[in-house]
Amino acid sequence: MDQENKYRLRVKNCIGTIIDVHRSIGDRYDNQEFLDQFERLKEAVDGLDMSVVSEGDVLMVEKATNALLEEFRAIFKSANLGPVYQKPPS
């Protein structure tokens, strides 16, 4: 896989993780419009010219995603929400 596709995959994984987290709390918060925007963003990444993207750009997206997930940690703990992803059976 070439570097541009690796960058695209990393960015799409970040967006997908945010979508998954929001879906898991969707019953408690009305966030369909927010989810729709992230779905469109995920699709838009396919059309980006990744040749102008650097490792630093992708790292910024990953750091921002991690920071957002850290903010959600309190919501998940206080609302006693389970994990977003279930462990695969052994």
Mention every residue, 6+ apart, whose C-beta is less than 8 A from residue 87: none
What is the pLDDT at residue 29? 64
Domain ranges of the chain: 3-78
Q: Residue-wise pLDDT tens for the chain (90 aa)?
A: 799 999 999 999 998 888 888 877 766 666 678 778 888 888 888 888 999 999 999 999 999 999 988 888 887 777 676 666 666 666
How many other CB atoms are there within 10 angstroms of residue 16's CB atom? 14
Q: What's the predicted TM-score (pTM) here?
A: 0.77
CA distance 54 to 3: 10
Q: What region does 80 belong to: left with phi over 0, alpha with psi -120 to 50, or beta?
A: left
CA 21 vs CA 5, 24, 40, 51, 56: distances in Å? 24, 5, 16, 29, 25
